[in-house]
Amino acid sequence: MTFDWITFVWITKAARPSGRKHHWMRWFLCWAWLASVLALPAQAQLLVKKQRFDMPAFTTQSGVTLPISVGWEAYGTLNATKSNVVLVTHYFSGTSHAAGKYAPTDTQAGYWDAIIGPGKAIDTNIFYVISSDTLANLNAYDPQVITTGPASLNPKTGKPYGLDFPVVTITDFVEVQKALLDSLGIHKLHAVIGPSMGSFQALEWASRYPERVERVAAVIGTGAMDAWTAMRLERWAYPIKADPAWQQGDYYGKRQQPSAGLAVALAYVTQDALHPSGFNQKYAGLSQDVRAHQDIRHDLGVWEQLLASAQSRSQRMDANSLLYLVRASQLWRAGMGDNWQAALAKIRANTLFLPAEGDLLLTPAMANQSYQQLTTANRQYHLLKALSHSMGHLDGIVHIQDAAAQIQRWLHSDAPSLAPANR
């Protein structure tokens, strides 16, 4: 409950009648309001704990077998039939921390806390919500992240894998999640939902295991990466590879670290994730940049601002892990074969696409193409609804509350038949 002192003061002062006989009226209004506030149900603070899942032998899609560990979180209570599970799959630079706080004193809650929790769109009074860290998670040095990636120790050498870590794909992320769910005795999902790279995982779940997934939502996502977007992501990888301190990925434990390349890469990620209007609101203009007008050796002030923010974010991130996530995203297409349209056609789930109107990274046209493919393939429940704000791709994270009603309706839509379609 948030105590609104402004309203309290306004009630005690507003419409003051003169005279002692009306003195009681002001206090009656005041205490009546206070009683009504105290009677409102308080929304409980969602406190969560990171858990660990280990697999002694996981085989990647590239054919390499290795031990892996990932972190996971859960919100809500698993029902007796284990039929109330909602899997949330995270975005490129995200983690399994989708909602709640680890401690009441945390300054920030999980990235989708606006829609996950008691009484929210993904209501944890009803659903058991689960999310896990991906392999090669970018936040490899965050103490609340558990991941196996290039920064992890190779048990065969006792040294970090570096570039000897195998290429991992969206399918690998899904297979780890499936193993986690299997270990919990969960074999059917009420829903899978995720933003950006999380949407890739959600769609892969629904196409790879159509008999397990009743509902799937792709937020700011697509069923396949095109060549143009894949090359745009290569721009994120290049500054790291061009940094001499990267040392072909063999920088662990050494004095020189590819910090500069990683910061530049993150700066590009930030710019590409923002629509120009949102970017221009956040970062300063050029007319007052005196140094840039006087000396070519000075960087633009807006670049310095963007880079400083990226450097701050990079402290818990690993440069090689960014390269692996770029590659996983570049290679993405539903089914990971040569016909992503046929893979999407296998989906039996009720489907929701939520692109962002101003998204210049994974454009609304890409979401619409996937949506049209699904509506052509079958007549299940399908909905395409655009988020409309000024942040571009990031609207799927920071303005997800705008789609709360659509998400809630989708979650409570009639369960589809998961029997394979006749073809």
**Contacts with 254 (C-beta within 8 Å, 6 or more apart), sequence order:** 247
Q: Are 334 and 169 in contact (CB under 8 A)?
A: no
Instruction: Give the whole-angstrom CA distance, residue 175 versus residue 61.
Output: 9
Instruction: Give the whole-angstrom CA distance, residue 382 versus residue 392.
Output: 23
Phi, psi of 239 (to 5 degrees): -60, -30
Is 196 a residue of the active site?
Answer: yes
Token code pair at residue 400:
């997800």
Catalytic residue among 359, 370, 390, 395: 359
User: DSSP code of 59?
Assistant: E
Is 142 a residue of the active site?
Answer: no
Is 277 a residue of the active site?
Answer: no
Phi, psi of 352 (to 5 degrees): -125, 125
Is 189 in a helix, a strand, or coil? strand
Pairing state between β 191-195 and 215-219? parallel
Catalytic residue among 207, 318, 393, 395: 393
Token code pair at residue 82:
């284990």
Question: Directed axis angle between helix 259-273 and helix 227-242, to 10°?
Answer: 150
Instruction: Give the whole-angstrom CA distance, residue 21 versus residue 144.
Output: 61
Catalytic residue among 93, 96, 152, 196: 196
Question: Could you list the active site residues?
Answer: 196, 359, 393
